Structure 1
Amino acid sequence: MKIAIFGQAFNSNTEEALIVILHYLNNKKDVSVFLIAEFNEKIQEEKPSEFNFTQIAETLDSTFDLLISIGGDGTILRAITYVHDLDVPVIGVNTGRLGFLATIQNELIIPAMDAIFSKAYKISERHLLTIETQPKVDAFEVYNFALNEIAISRKNTTSMITVETRLNNEYLTSYWSDGLIVSTPTGSTGYSLSCGGPVITPDTNSFVITPIAPHNLSARPLVITDSTTIELKVNGREDNFLVSLDSRITTLSNDTVITIKKAPFTIKMIELLEESFLDTLRKKLLWGEDKRN
């Protein structure tokens, strides 16, 4: 079994999780453990004398069987840029805060690893968004996909922008707002939720369009089928605006036309058998935390 480990930062919580994982995997036969080079650099900056890894992976390929992400949901969003369309399953150890994607707490690492090696888990396939621009933008040539959302927002101004929106070449509306979020079901519990969007179960074949602070008082989040092609055009007092793909941000000019649609591949998230999305909702959003229950 060939396993890669990734993290965005190295702190006490991350170190604790990494030690437990390495100790567990080193006691397993026929297991090769690789550290993603980006993560190794963070570790060497902090504790070069205590961690000396010989197997470092600059990138992943289809020979890997598993990617372990140590951190929060943001770490998983970064980790999928390594996975791309390789079909390598991902599991997240949560050393961050809320953790809708990274659900394994430090104290549950060993039971989770036992479940993985005994194949007592399920795979949750998560759909992604892709972006194309006209004219083309170099920043999106390699990492032109997002697991949570693609968001349009104003730049260098407190004024609203107008986001002209078309669905399958049919005009929908022009949102007067601070921006617009196009979210996957996975991302529905993130930025979109904070802007009033609905929670959508991960297995739903839908996307959500959520305006950010709209001045159109009748503007509401819109749920659409994930086969829809979305076209966006921005106008505003400034010449540029921001577009973010999960945590990756770039600047585009107002003459750019953005096309968003479903990616041709999915990300495979490992879920333990006793886990469910509804259980996660209750835990993370405190649903049902009522004395009457």
Structure 2
Amino acid sequence: MKIALHSRKLEKERSGFLMSAINEILNRKEFELMISDGLALYLENIEPELCNSVPVFNSTEQLRGVDFMISIGGDGTLLQALTYVQELEIPIVGVNAGRLGFLASIQRENFSNTLDALINGFFSIEERTMLTLVSDREDLFGGIKFGLNEFTILKRDTSSMIVVHTYLNGEYLNSYWADGLIVSTPSGSTGYSLSVGGPVVIPGSENFIISPVCPHNLNVRPLIISDKSVISFEIEGRSKNFLVSLDSRSEAVDASIELAVKKCPFKAKLVNVGGGEKFLDTLRKKLNWGLDNRNPMS
């Protein structure tokens, strides 16, 4: 079974787990391991011999034939892993060595059991909808124009608001006078969108959420739409440059750029095993939903 592993620099108390996880994979005869170039760069300083003995990948094409991608870190690390996987739809095993872990839901103490589950086929795969950016700039985001969580337009280098004229399937929706605008997937509804007052949407709901960032008009509220919609934008502002982001990747653009987002033709596939937390469990545990000493269920 061919395993690709991605991680990045972890806090000191978590880096020991990363090394033990790598050694456990290498010591199991069922696995053939390769590591990402980002992980190799980190390991060069602490385990240089390992980098010389394990194949390193730096492109999607090199991942053909891989059975699973293991991401060790937080949700941000898993989002990075997706930029390697892209349209190959390799199932991703998200091992949480971070904090919240909505996407990376498998706890460190369950890592060995997770490897057993992969070998024996005791797992399920959850498909998550992603969005893709359509633009007249082909080089934007290095050509990796998709995101699992959200697409965002933000003001830059000025205290002045921007105006984002927004259209659904070519029909005018609204002009948002705000610091920015977020289009989120259900997976991203617990991220940036939630922090600006957007709703939590259950994965698999086949929706996008449009959420303004600090809108000038207080009667403007987040809007849930079908993920079959194409959302296009025209941007105005005193500054001629703005920021656009896909998940944790951001770039500066000028107002002349053409931007639209729609449902991505491929999906993220997340592996669930017995030791992983389910989405609703994570909501209650990590967001303290229903936390009340008077409530025996909390």
Bin the TM-score by the shorter chain. Answer: over 0.9
- Secondary structure of the equivalent of 1:180? strand
Q: Any idea what SS the aligned residue of 1:278 has?
A: helix
Whichever residue aligns with residue 252 of structure 1, its letter is V
**Could you say which residue in structure 2 is the equivalent of 1:57?**
57
Q: Which amino acid aligns with 1:65?
A: D
Q: Which amino acid aligns with 1:24?
A: E
Aligned to 2:194: 193
Instruction: Give the secondary-structure state (helix, strand or coil) at the position aligned to 2:203.
Output: coil
Are 2:164 and 1:168 aligned?
no
- Rounded Cα–Cα distance in structure 2 between residues aligned with 1:291 and 1:53: 53
The CA deviation string for residues 146-191 of structure 1, in whole angstroms up to 9 with x for no partner, is: 1100000000101100000000111001000000000000000000
Which stretches in structure 1 are left out of the alignment for 5+ residues?
none
Q: Trace 1:204-283 onto structure 2 (pairs within 5 A).
A: 204-273=205-274, 275-283=277-285
Instruction: Spell out, residue by residue over 1:173-213, the C-alpha distance to the aligned partner (whole angstroms, 9 max, x if none).
Output: 10000000000000000000000000011111000000000
1:159 and 1:217 map into 2 onto residues whose CA distance is: 17
Aligned mates of 2:232, 2:51 — CA distance in 1: 48
Q: 1:177 to 1:39 in 2, by over 3 A?
A: same
Distance 1:65 1:242, change over 3 A: same
TM-score (norm 2): 0.93
Aligned length: 292
Cα distance in 1 between the residues matched to 2:102 and 2:185: 14
Pairwise CA distance, 1:137: 4.4
Distance 1:143 1:34, change over 3 A: same
Percent identity, please. 45
SS at match of 1:107: helix
Paired residues of 2:189 and 2:199 also in contact (CA < 8 A): yes
Deviation >4 Å, runs of 4+: 49-52
Instruction: Please say if residues 128 and 147 of structure 1, whose CA atoms lie closer than 8 Å, have aligned partners that are also in contact.
Output: yes
Contact 2:33/2:54, CA 8 A, preserved across alignment: no
Q: What amino acid does structure 2 have at the position aligned with 1:4? A: A
Are the aligned partners of 1:153 and 1:242 in contact in 2 as well (CA < 8 Å)? yes
User: What is the CA–CA distance in structure 2 between the aligned matches of 1:205 and 1:15, rounded to whole Å?
Assistant: 37
Rounded to whole Å, the distance in 2 between the matches of 1:64 and 1:232 is 38
Q: Distance in 2 between matches of 1:181 and 1:225?
A: 15
Partner secondary structure for residue 116 of structure 2? helix
Tell me if 1:31 matches 2:31.
yes
- TM-score normalized by the length of structure 1: 0.94
Question: How far is the alpha carbon of 1:58 from its aligned partner?
Answer: 2.2
Structure 2, unpaired ranges of 5+:
none
